[in-house]
Chains A and B, each alone.
Chain A
Amino acid sequence: MPLSIRQLAFVALLLGTSHTAWAEFILFPELNGIARRDIEPHKIAIPHGGYPLRENQPDAALDIFYSADYGRLRVLAEVDIAREVDAEIERLQAGWLLGSETTAWIGRFHTPLGYWNTQFHHGSYLQTSATRPGIMEFHGLKAPLPLHIAGLLIEGAHPLENQEIHYQFSLGVGPNLQHHGLEPVDFRNLDNAGSHKLNAAVRLSYLPDPVIPDEIGGFAAYTIIPSIHKTIREIRQTIAGAFGNWEHERLRLIGELYFVSNDLVADSGTVHASFVNYNLQAEYTLHPNWTLYARAEDTLNAENDPYLDIFPEFIRRRALAGLRFDLTHNQALKLEWAGVTRQHDRFNEIILQWSAAFP
């Protein structure tokens, strides 16, 4: 397929900035072997745009990250190539370094929500576990929250003696609701992007020491999600929540709490629904190369929720345990067992994952 003018401009931007000394190009590959058993019910209707649940599923993905600085101009691009999903420009941002602590970005970026979405996202190697919480899934009929937005993002830090307050404010356009799930602004196909409306988000966090990863904070977002579904005109979604990451010697705890309120607007009237989701992950380093971990995640008021029913692959409850082995300084093997409950089915699964970061 011939490249469009926009794609050529994007490539030119990358090549142009790659001549600076301040550039970074990192590949995050991953290979997954997934075995599912005890699937209930056995015959699951395949939703429009979805994929059948298979007992044994190999999977592969490659995340390509690029960042370059040209003076105070910072460019960041991230492309994710995954099986069964088109290659997607996850992030394409241009930022201006206003000072040591503050950057103003325009482009497509991660919505400043929670901990997982801002810390790990597609870089599986960076997270200890093989999977991420269901609420933080980013593609298709398993992803109920707008995790990518396009617009303006201001992020920075306010020092308080030896502590820091981190802030992120974003204003832009969020996704629309297609038959295959939420669809953020796609820079490759702006002409057929459909209607996108307001998304505003804020994330604040406190770091007791800015050079260690301990962090506690809160966030809120409001999004108007236009829909192409016949029965829903648009969804007005409000999200609020809290998160924390705490590390002490060999122990690490990561937790998130989400309150999500949706007004589903139809020609016949508005239906209100809301749910609460939480996840808590504990990690224990047995040895510098071996980490044991477990995670619990659950959603309250999820059953028969008219908004979550649009996302039948959403994992609303999961209990998992796993073991990570760092093969080298940039490669990891993870073995994870999970009991999974989605909107309309449940199963047990074992995942073996290899992930890396090169160079």
Chain B
Amino acid sequence: MIVRRIFCTFCFVYGLFALAGHSALAAERSLVLVRSEQATVPPLTEQEVRKLFLGEVLIKNGQRVQALRNLTDPFLYEVFLQKIVFMSARNYERQLLSRVFRLGGQRPPVYEDLNQLIAALKSNPAAVTFMWEDEAKTIPGIKVSTQLWQGPIE
């Protein structure tokens, strides 16, 4: 009897842990476009974001919007490419290179350091980048502009 109780308790506790573990693995996350608080860049459509990060010119309210690539978190970058740009990293790099070679302009600059990224964002009122929403909300001086994607992360 005692053995049976212990076994049932074990199963219950294991089930709870398993459920908690599963929900943690499949947590919902939200990918957002952010800008500095002082920025006047209006919200962008998903199509505009895709074209902007493919190196194309985007002029809004008379100012040229600049894309900054956030590589501080490789997983975030991968999700951005898969869910927003719909390309593999290799294809994206080749597309960028090809467009710049053809039309001129520049590939969006890459930032691997979060402090440098935030500094670049704050120094240019026309700059935008992408982040996890929960992370963006903890950084003073920046503001969520547009939600780009939301879904479970496994």
Contact = CB atoms under 8 A, between A and B. Distances in A.
Interface string A98-110: 0111010000000
A217 to B, nearest CB: 14
Contact of B101 (A65, A74, A97, A213): A65
B98 A72 contact: no
B22 interface: no
A74 B100 CA distance: 12
Interface string B66-94: 10000000000000000001101110011
A75 B66 CA distance: 17
Contacts of A162: 47
B54 interface: yes
Given A126-B98, A329-B93, A210 B104 contact: no
Interface residues of B, number: 28
Contacts, number: 73
A212 B107 CA distance: 17
B97 A100 contact: no
B105 A67 contact: yes
B30 interface: no
A69 interface: yes
Given A72-B64, A211-B85, A103 B103 contact: yes
Given A126-B97, A211-B50, A211-B85, A69 B105 contact: yes
A103 B51 CA distance: 16
B106 A67 contact: yes
A123 B51 contact: no
A288 B88 contact: yes
B119 interface: no
Interface in B97-119: 97-98, 100-107
B97 A76 contact: no
B142 interface: no
Contacts of B102: 118-119
Contacts of B85: 211
Interface stretch (A21-29, A52-60, A81-89, A184-192): A21-29
Contact of A26 (B56, B93, B97, B103): B97
A24 B55 CA distance: 12
A203 to B, nearest CB: 12
A246 B46 CA distance: 23
B74 to A, nearest CB: 14
A67 B100 contact: yes
Contact of A100 (B59, B66, B93, B94): B59
B9 interface: no
B98 A119 contact: yes
A120 B99 CA distance: 10
Given A119-B98, A211-B47, A97 B59 contact: yes
A120 B54 CA distance: 17
B95 interface: yes
A74 B90 contact: no
B121 to A, nearest CB: 13
A76 to B, nearest CB: 4
B100 A24 contact: yes
A97 B57 contact: yes
A22 B106 contact: yes
Contacts of B66: 22
**Highest count of chain B CB atoms <10 Å: which of A100, A118, A326:** A100
Interface of B: 47, 50-51, 54, 56-59, 64, 66, 85-86, 88-90, 93-95, 97-98, 100-107
Given A74-B105, A97-B64, A213-B95, 5 more contacts: A67-B106, A71-B64, A74-B104, A118-B102, A329-B93
24 contacts: A22-B106, A24-B100, A24-B106, A24-B107, A67-B100, A67-B106, A74-B104, A100-B56, A100-B57, A103-B57, A103-B104, A119-B102, A120-B98, A123-B101, A126-B98, A126-B101, A162-B47, A210-B47, A210-B51, A213-B98, A288-B88, A329-B89, A329-B90, A357-B97
Closest 9 CB pairs of A and B: A76-B104, A67-B104, A24-B106, A211-B50, A100-B59, A74-B104, A123-B101, A100-B58, A126-B98
